[in-house]
Amino acid sequence: MIKNHEIMKAITAVIISMLIANVWASTVTYLDSTTATPETKENDDDDPWYMWILIYPGTKWCGAGNISDTENDLGSAHETDGCCRAHDYCDDTITANATAHNLTNNAPFTLSNCKCDDQFYACLKKADTSNSRRVGRIFFNYLGTKCFREDYPVVKCTKSIYFPRYKCLEYEYDTTKDKKYQWFNVPQF
């Protein structure tokens, strides 16, 4: 018998696939309309081709790494890009397949301390542009991103959502035990 969570997982996989395809198609269109393509950029040996595909259109910092020439180099979606740049400079992260704070990051991308993700969320909300809203939905709602922080041990999830993917929104904690670093779901955008 198929359970509700299995149906939700299947629907989520389809939506994420469509989202990635749309972002990729938009990126290719964006790259075709700019002069800064991997073929014409002077130092293209420093930028792997996939960096150009996995950067949100109109930005240089939103996605896998960055394609900026300098720290102050922002894309045409400068408000959104500024938020992504600030997030990239988070001082407490765990890279893919690395361990810190007694936590191992099994995700294929870097995960940040929850305070950095909270600041990223607030920055994107404050920017309030179509690009900042899209980047916010991708990062916070669709990617399944987690963050870490030191808190009392989680006993259970008390409030969750299942769409576009399962996410715990509120937790019950055991305040009789010492705080420890743990993984948490990022907020819904």
β-strand partners of 94? 111
CA dist 30 and 77 (Å) reads 12
Distance CA 67, CA 53 (A): 11
Given the residues 45, 47, 117, 128, select the one marked as catalytic: 117
Measure the CA–CA gap between 2 and 7, rounded to whole angstroms: 7
Which position among 5, 46, 47, 87 bears the catalytic label? 87
pLDDT on residue 12: 47
**Residue 179 structural domain:** 4-185
Contact yes or no for 87/66 (Cβ under 8 A): no
Tell me how many domains the chain contains: 1
Looking at residue 58, its pLDDT comes to: 96
Q: 61, 80 in Cβ contact below 8 A? A: no
pLDDT of residue 53: 60
Residue 101 among the catalytic residues: no
Of the pLDDT bands very low, low, confident and very high (cuts 50, 70, 90), residue 54 is confident
Which pTM was predicted? 0.73
Q: What is the pLDDT of residue 2?
A: 47
Model confidence pLDDT, tens digit, residues 92-125: 999 999 999 999 999 999 999 999 999 999 999 9
Q: What is the DSSP letter of 68?
A: -
Q: Please name the residue ranges forming H helices in 74-161.
A: 78-88, 114-127, 130-136
Q: Is 117 a catalytic residue?
A: yes
Instruction: Return mean pLDDT, the chain.
Output: 81
CATH code at position 175? 1.20.90.10
Alpha-carbon Rg for the chain in angstroms = 18
Q: How far apart are CA 162 and CA 14, in angstroms?
A: 14
Q: What is the mean pLDDT of residues 146-168?
A: 95
